[in-house]
Structure 1
C-alpha cells in the first residue's frame, strides 16, 4: 500500500458545518510550520489569523496586516497542517470596498497558500460579500461581535452585546452571515446569553472566543493559551507558561556560554 493511500484526509467545509450541535469544534490560531504541525493533531480548524500582526510582528492592532503577510504565514501553516481544516483571515482593506475586490483577494489567498477557506469580519454589507464568494466556490467563515479590524471605530478592543442595539446588530449579522452561505461563524467578546441566542438562531456552527461554552466550538490565540505574553484577555485559560520557560532557558544558555560550559565535548567536532 502506498504512502498516499495511508495519508490522513483533511477535514472539509461541509464536515465542519455538519458538526452543528454535535461534538464541539476545537480551533486554534497558527502562524508557522512547526506550530501548525504540533497543533494539527488536536485541532479541527487552524486559523491563520490576522492576529499574527500583533502576535508575531508586534503591531498595535491588526490594521497594518497586509495580503503579503497573510500569504507568507498561510503558506507556512499549510506546510505543517495535514488533517485540520485551514482558514485564513482576509486582512483589513482587502474585502470591504466591493464583493469583486473580495473575490479577487480571496482567490489569491487560497491559490497562493492552499488554505481551504477565508474569514471576514462582519459589517452592514458583509453578508453580500459572503454570498458573492460562496456562490463562486469560496468557503467563508463569518465573524460577529467584537471586531478587531474595527478597533479605530470602536476606540479599542471592546466587548460587544452589552446594549440592546449591540445585541441586535450582532444577532442580525450572524443571521445574515449564515443565510448568505457562511459555513461557520466566529462569535467574539459577547455575553453568554447572547452567544446562546446566536447559536440557537443560526443553522451553522458558532465558534466562540470570549463567548461562553454555549457555542458549537472554541478558538483561542495559541500564543495566549501557551502563556507567551505577560497579559492575556479575561476569556483566555493559560494551559502553559512558556514565556517563563523560554526566559529561564535563555538565561541558562547565557550562563553556560559565559562560563564556557557550552559547548561541551559532546557538542564539539574533532579531527579524526
Structure 2
C-alpha cells in the first residue's frame, strides 16, 4: 500500500476531488458481497461500486434491468459491513429514479439509510437532471454515468461504442457539464472514444472515471468478476484480466472432488 493510501483513513468525495487536482488516478472496482469487498478494501481500492451489474454476475440476468431496489440494498449493506477505507457508491436500479424526482429521492434515501452507503449513481444526463437535483438537495453525493448506459440497452439496441457521431458527442459534453453544475461529485464515462473522454475530463472540474474510455480520464473502473477472470464469456476490448480465477477455482474444486472420491479427504489429522 502506498503512503498516501495508508494516510487516508476513509476516502471521501473531497479526497477524490483532490486526487483529480493533483493528477493522481482513482481506482474503482465493483463489489457485491462482504468477502470480496473486504479483500478489495484491504488491497487499497479507492472506490467500490455496488453496481446493478449484480443483476448479470450475481443473478445471471441478461441485462441490468431486472434487479430491484431491495436487492441493491441487500448487496450494498453486505459490502458496507466489510469496508474501512473505500468510498462506496451504489447504483439506483432501473425504474427507481427515472421520470419521478420524488421517487428518485425516496430510493436514494433508502440506499443511504438502510445500506449505510456513501453515495449513489444514476445513468443519464438532461433526461434525469430533475432527479439528480432532488437527490442532491438531501445532501446525498451523486455520481453520474454517461456514454453507454446499460439501463437504456433496449433504447440503444446494442452494447457498441457510444458518441462516435458529432451530435451524440456534443450532447455527452453538455450532459457532463449539466451534471457538474447540478453538483455531482464525479461522472462515469462508459465505452466512448478516448479522445472525447479526455476532452470531458479536461472541460469539467469533477473526477471522470472511465470504463472503455481510454487513459486520459481521472480514474478507471472494471467489474471485479471480469478483471479477476471469474467470468470467461465477456471479453471486450477495454477489459484487462489480472488473474484467471475461473481456472484456479475449477482446479481446486476438481482436486476436492478427487480427494473425496478417493477417500483421501478427510484424513486422520482432519478428523476429530
How far, CA to CA, are the matches of 2:215 and 2:180 in structure 1? 20
User: Which residues of 2 match residues 234-253 of structure 1 at below 5 A?
Assistant: 234-253=237-256
Q: TM-score, normalised by structure 1?
A: 0.94
Moved over 6 A (4+): none
Name which of 217, 220, 226 aligns with 1:218. Answer: 220
Tell me how far 1:17 sits from its aligned partner.
2.3
Contact 2:26 2:219 in 1 (8 A): yes
Structure 2 residue 204 is matched with structure 1 residue 202: yes
SS in 1 for 2:19: coil
Contact 2:32 2:75 in 1 (8 A): yes
How far, CA to CA, are the matches of 1:206 and 1:46 in structure 2? 15
Contact 1:48 1:86 in 2 (8 A): yes
Contact 1:87 1:117 in 2 (8 A): yes
Structure 2 residues not aligned, in runs of 5+:
1-7
Q: Tell me the residue number matched to 1:182.
A: 184
Q: Tell me the residue number matched to 2:4.
A: none
How far, CA to CA, are the matches of 1:123 and 1:193 in structure 2? 20
Contact 2:227 2:239 in 1 (8 A): yes
Q: TM-score, normalised by structure 2?
A: 0.94
Q: Tell me the residue number matched to 1:257.
A: 260
Structure with greater helix share of residues? 2
How far, CA to CA, are the matches of 2:71 and 2:237 in structure 1? 28
How far, CA to CA, are the matches of 1:169 and 1:263 in structure 2? 63
Structure 1 residues not aligned, in runs of 5+:
1-7
SS in 1 for 2:146: strand
